Amino acid sequence: MSVWDVGGLGQCPGLALPIPGTGLGLADRAVSQRCPAQGHFPARPSRGHGGLTPSAVEKAAFWLPRTQMSPCPLILLARPWHQPALGHWGEWREDVHRARLPQPPINQAVPQRPVPSSWGAALGRSHLPTAQKADLSGDATAATINHSLTLLQRLQELLQNGNGSDSVLRVRSAASDEAKVFHTHQLLLSLQSEVFESLLHNQSVITLHEPPETAALFEKFIRYLYCGGVSILLHQAIPMHQLASKYRVWGLQRGVADYMKSHLASESSQGHVVAWYHYAVRIGDAALQESCLQFLAWNLSAVLGSAEWGSVSVELLLLLLERSDLVLHSELELYTAVEGWLSRRQPEGPVAKRVLRAIRYPMIAPSQLFRLQAQSPVLARHYGAVQDLLFQAFQFHAASPLHFAKYFDVNCSMFLPRNYLAPSWGSQWVINNPARDDRSTSFQTQLGPSSHDAGKRVTWNVLFSPRWLPVSLRPVYSDSVSGAVQPVRIEDGRPRLVITPAMSSPDFAGVSFQKTVLVGVRQQGRVVVKHAYSFHQSSDEAADFLAHADLQKRTSEYLIDNSLHLHIIIKPVYHSLIKVKK
């Protein structure tokens, strides 16, 4: 369970109502005065604040708790008590709170206060003159008295007990014949939601119709409007986001979206990332949509074996199959998962054809392709849709890539490997205590996926430096006395990873190598891919490799048990040297 305090409720130190989107309360934006005797109230209502009508502020004044220093309630005024009050839209108000404060004698001069020249002056943060504030700032005995937690507790009690309630919400759902009733306070609802402000403008009792999922969370939603905090679980994220969007509580909406982005790696029995992606598409949240899609692509092997794979839509499946940055064990693993998806969903012929033609058959060994032709019921049913691709894959494995490239276009996705985790494509590298010093390692990969090159290997050398300095930051020595060398700080360096082949061979003709480095981190108890850096043969290193990672701290999010987890993948990319005319 995670508790998210998301915008909308400022915690003010005084006994005052919070203003949405700020850290101010009404007490910070108004002049506080105590009435001269218990039971007496100002002659006229105070001016409205923060977009509220005067009547709303007046309502707040009556149910604010009494202070411990005086039996009188705390009254919020934006002007001296003797000045006339303006109602909404500049109207003079004489119809509220007829009880009058004692008036001074006619022949007695009324002490005048300067009239603020602007709303900013009237609603300033402090009630103290500038000189007095300066005195307090230099006083060693000055202190801040903060009872904001007590205020939050009393606001919760207001919701639970319904004390001073001036509005009623009746929430109905198709799952129940009985409506849930909430005794609320119009001021607090209006502070957080313009929808509630509009609904409660001319009525105090409203009936709301909600789906069962959102109706079950409505009490939590209302509690957020009072206290600015809510605890949610994975399966509650979508309905809570729906409530926040429907009633235009923007702080809660942003908070739930951030919660979803940071909990993509969380464990759940049925999975949640696919559902969150579909929801993001439906509401048009491009940022959440991209976060979900990237997580699925970089951690696809875990998704393929989970229950949520069956809930993947056709559109999402095709988007994933188009990508070359999918992280999985092999192309055969992807085909097996797609075959299971087609068997369960039974899509129409054109859809099945598009899905099957997105598989990169040249990346599957010929022996495995023969087995699929003989044993796969899905392939047997849709063989005509992919027959040409299978024949081309067998041709690719039978000839040298250089010879094959003379007759076929190899500059397409069909011949571009994905990020395969199988040993023939790369190696995992766990660097213990990476901030200590430079490290190096070496490993071998296959020359290419073609069976013609099955026995050919390439050796790769890898160098990792935790504090490499670019040329622009390196010290420059000078013969002059004034040209002192500036000391170089450790934090000026950045991590660097260099990958180079340990050999050269004529077999490299017609092929270049794309290097991909996956960085694993631990999130919500699971190891997931956080970054994927890719660079080509023309550059032996990733320019921005872990540019913002602080490996000096043992608490760095990039370290798992004080170790940096990398997986290096080498992807052969074929290109034509000589094109034969057909």
Q: 121-125, 136-140, 434-438 — which is least confidently predicted?
A: 121-125
**What does the alpha-carbon distance between residue 433 and residue 264 come to, in Å, rounded to a whole number?**
28
User: pLDDT value at position 468?
Assistant: 63
The type of residue at 163 is: N
pLDDT in tens, 266-295: 888 778 999 999 999 999 999 999 999 999
Residue 571 has a pLDDT of: 92
Q: Which range in 32-46, 130-144, 360-374, 509-523 is most confidently predicted, on average pLDDT?
A: 360-374
CB under 8 Å to 170, separation ≥6 — which residues?
179, 180, 181, 205, 206, 207, 208
AA letter at 392 = Q
The tokens 């008295």 sit on which residue? Answer: 145
Q: State pLDDT tens for residues 70-99.
A: 334 433 333 444 444 444 444 444 444 444
CB count in 10 Å sphere of residue 487: 7
H-only helix segments in 69-185: 119-122, 130-137, 148-161
Whole-angstrom distance, CA of residue 137 vs CA of residue 28: 18
Give yes or no for residue 195 having a pLDDT over 50: yes
Please give the average per-residue pLDDT across 165-191, as a whole number. 92
Helix segments in 484-536, DSSP class H: none
pLDDT for the residue 577: 56
Domain assignments of the chain as residue spans, ordered by start = 264-398, 415-471+491-574
Residue 406's pLDDT is 85
Q: Return the top range by mean pLDDT from 83-97, 141-155, 485-499, 540-554.
A: 141-155
Give the side-chain half-sphere CA count within 13 A for 47. 18
What is the CATH number assigned to the segment(s) 415-471+491-574?
2.60.210
In the chain, % of residues over pLDDT 70 = 70
Whether 163 shows a pLDDT value over 60: the answer reads: yes
Asked if 362 and 449 count as a contact pair (C-beta separation under 8 A), the reply is yes
Identity of residue 434: P
- What per-residue confidence (pLDDT) applies to 136? 56
> What's the CATH fold of domain 264-398?
1.25.40
- The reported pLDDT for the residue numbered 520 is 93
Q: Which two tokens stand for residue 522?
A: 């631990």
Q: At what angle do helices 237-246 and 218-227 cross, to 10 degrees?
A: 60
What is the reported pLDDT for 84? 45
pLDDT at 292: 97
> What pLDDT score was predicted for residue 479?
53
Mention every residue, 6+ apart, whose C-beta is less than 8 A from residue 21: 7, 8, 251
What's the CA gap between 51 and 190, in Å, rounded?
10
For residue range 202-212, what is the model confidence (pLDDT) as tens digits?
A: 899 999 999 99
Which pLDDT value is given to residue 570?
A: 94
345 pLDDT exceeds 80?
yes
Task: 198-201: list long-range contacts, CB under 8 Å, 24+ apart.
Answer: 200/167
Q: What burial class does residue 70 get, using C-beta atoms within 10 Å of its C-beta: 0-12 exposed, 13-18 middle, 19+ buried?
A: exposed
- Mean predicted confidence (pLDDT) in 2-12: 44
Name which residue leads in pLDDT, 263 or 550. 263
Tell me if residue 191 falls in helix, strand or coil.
helix
- Summarised one tens digit per residue, pLDDT across range 287-299 is 999 999 999 999 9
Residue 124 has pLDDT above 50, yes or no: no
The better pLDDT of the pair 110, 439 is held by 439
